[in-house]
């Protein structure tokens, strides 16, 4: 009996050892990062007959459990242009709250419509106080369209949010397997899938089959190093955008001032040239205490900062390389902090 018992024990040991070793390996493996989806709507969810919910979007992602523990919540479900500035503030508060309340949360993915995606992403880049990854994602085709790329974009966004290398890079925009910085990216085509580009600055990285790869960093201030805090803010000061064109009337600028604008961003020609009666209208605005930011409508290049001596001139800010719609966001946030033109110019230089 004893030899038989010894043989049985040897057999059981041989059979169980691989299983026990595998169980130990699983216990030793680090847990997958926890990534939460916050869905706001947009084309990515705009299915014919009813919008996809956050839960349904995650259900479209077979294999996401290879990269992350996927969570989700519904913030809104509308076109990006229907979101209000107040909702932007609430979204920033929500994301800051989630990271503060759950240290185990590794990153967040936010869905957005593509039309104003770059604006919301830049707003979050300036108002989130975290080094953890926040990725904004959308799609150019809706779920009822042949070739819908939303699921692929969303899976790529989860992968980027879960990648340790994404930490500290600010808010990221991921579509078409490309990673761009929120500050630099812009929508360049009304229809094409490769619409989101960073023009002269280029991609931050790519999402390939084997891994997420980065090629460079963003040096401007953002997220954890940002001074902007909207936790006690319900809405932002009114700032409008006007465009320079041949023979442009300054009446539009004057009307915006009279209607209560606290700031106006001018998408000027070239490196800051105005036209028509715009210069006189800008003087009118500054005499009324309204800040003017001069940017370029060209899509790239800088409007360089310069010193100002007179009191009205200190209300004119040079927008550096920010596009007009992003300069508007920075000015709105700057006006929640200060009414000092030199301080606002510093912000445009640093952010």
Q: What is the mean pLDDT of residues 283-311?
A: 89
pLDDT at 5: 56
140 in the same domain as 251? no
For residues 175 and 219, membership in a common domain is answered with yes
Active-site position among 43, 111, 244, 296: 43
Same domain, 202 and 109: yes
- For residue 25, being part of any structural domain is answered with no
Q: How confident is the model at residue 100 (pLDDT cuts 50, 70, 90)?
A: very high
Claim to verify: residue 217 and residue 316 sit in the same structural domain: no
The pLDDT confidence band at residue 21, using thresholds 50, 70 and 90, is very low
Residues 70 and 211 in one domain: yes
Q: Confidence class of residue 38 from pLDDT cuts 50, 70 and 90?
A: very high
297, part of any domain? yes
Domain boundary among 167, 202, 225: 225
Q: Say whether both 118 and 204 belong to one domain.
A: yes
Residue 272 within a domain: yes
Average pLDDT over residues 291-310: 87
Interval 150-154 mean pLDDT: 98
The yes-or-no verdict on residue 7 having pLDDT over 80 is no
The domain spanning residue 189 has which CATH number?
3.40.50.1170
In a domain, 5, yes or no: no
The reply to whether 173 falls in a domain is: yes
Higher-confidence residue of 312 and 349: namely 349
| 129: exposed, middle or buried (Cβ count in 10 Å: 0-12, 13-18, 19+) | middle
Given 174, 202, 225, the domain boundary residue is: 225
Q: Does the residue 50 lie in any domain?
A: yes
Is residue 52 in some structural domain? yes
252-258: average pLDDT:
98
Instruction: Single out the residue in 201, 225, 249 at which a domain terminates.
Output: 225
Tell me what the pLDDT averaged over the chain comes to. 93
Query: Do 205 and 70 reside in the same domain of the chain?
Result: yes
**pLDDT value of residue 305:** 82
**What pTM was estimated for this model as a whole?**
0.90
Domain membership of residue 29 (yes or no) is: no
Same domain, residue pair 105 and 169 = yes
Alpha carbon separation from 182 to 37, 155, 234, 266, 323 (Å, rounded): 18, 19, 23, 21, 12
Q: What is the 3-state secondary structure (H, E, C) of the chain?
A: CHHHHHHHHHHHHHHHHHHHHHHHHHHHCCCCCEEEEEEEECHHHCCCCCCCCHHHHHHCCCCHHHCCEEEEEEEEEECHHHCCHHHHHHHHHHHHHHHHHCCCEEEEEEECCCCCHHHHHHHHHHHCCCCCEEEEECCCCCCCCCCCCHHHHHHHHHHHHHCHHHCCCCEEEEECCEEEECCCCEECCCCCCCCEECHHHCCCEEECCCCEEECCCCCCCCHHHCCCCCCCCCCCCCEEEEECCCCCCCHHHHHHHHCCCCEEEEEEECCCECCCCHHHHHHHHHHCCCEEEEEECCCCCCECCCCCCCCHHHHEEECECCCHHHHHHHHHHHCCCCCCHHHHHHHHHHC
Question: 43 and 66: one domain?
Answer: yes
Same domain, 77 and 212: yes
What does the pLDDT read at residue 303? 97
Residues 204 and 326 in one domain: no
Q: What CATH number does the domain containing 267 carry? A: 3.40.50.40
Segment 131-136 shows an average pLDDT of 98
pLDDT recorded at residue 26: 47
DSSP H helical ranges for 191-308? 251-258, 278-287
Give the range of the structural domain holding residue 75, as residue numbers without chain letter: 34-225
pLDDT of amino acid 10: 53
Count of domains observed in the chain = 2
Average pLDDT over residues 207-218: 97
Q: Based on the domain organization, do 252 and 208 belong to the same domain?
A: no
The verdict on whether 295 is a catalytic residue reads no
């Amino acid at each position: 009996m004893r030899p038989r018992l010894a043989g049985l024990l040897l057999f059981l040991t041989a059979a169980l050892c691989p299983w026990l070793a595998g169980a130990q390996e699983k216990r030793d493996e680090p847990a997958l990062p926890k990534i939460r989806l916050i869905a706001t709507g947009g084309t990515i969810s705009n299915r014919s007959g009813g919008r996809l919910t956050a839960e349904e979007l995650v259900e479209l992602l077979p294999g996401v459990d290879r990269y992350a523990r996927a969570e989700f919540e519904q913030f809104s479900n509308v076109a990006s242009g229907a979101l209000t500035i107040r909702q932007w503030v609430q979204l920033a508060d929500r994301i800051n709250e989630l990271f503060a309340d759950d240290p185990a949360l590794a990153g967040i993915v936010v869905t957005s419509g593509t039309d104003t995606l770059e604006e919301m992403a830049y707003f979050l880049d300036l108002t989130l106080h975290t080094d953890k990854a926040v990725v904004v994602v959308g799609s150019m085709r809706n779920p009822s369209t042949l070739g819908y790329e939303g699921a692929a974009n969303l899976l790529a966004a989860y992968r980027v949010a879960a990648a340790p290398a994404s930490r500290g890079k600010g808010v990221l925009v991921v579509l078409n397997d490309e990673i761009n910085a929120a500050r630099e990216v812009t929508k360049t085509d009304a229809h094409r899938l490769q619409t989101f580009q960073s023009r002269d600055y280029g991609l931050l990285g790519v999402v390939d089959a084997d891994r997420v790869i980065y090629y460079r960093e963003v040096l401007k201030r953002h997220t954890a190093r940002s001074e902007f805090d909207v936790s006690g803010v319900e809405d932002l000061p009114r700032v409008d955008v006007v465009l320079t064109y041949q023979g442009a009337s300054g009446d539009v600028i004057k009307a915006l001032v009279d209607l209560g604008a606290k700031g106006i961003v001018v998408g000027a020609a070239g490196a800051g040239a105005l036209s028509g009666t715009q210069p006189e209208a800008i003087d009118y605005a500054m005499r009324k205490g309204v800040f003017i930011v001069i940017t370029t409508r060209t899509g790239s290049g800088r409007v360089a900062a310069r010193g100002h001596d007179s009191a009205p001139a200190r209300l004119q800010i040079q927008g550096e390389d920010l596009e007009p719609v992003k300069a508007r966001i920075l000015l709105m946030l700057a006006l929640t902090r200060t009414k000092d033109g030199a301080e606002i110019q510093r912000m445009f230089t640093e952010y």
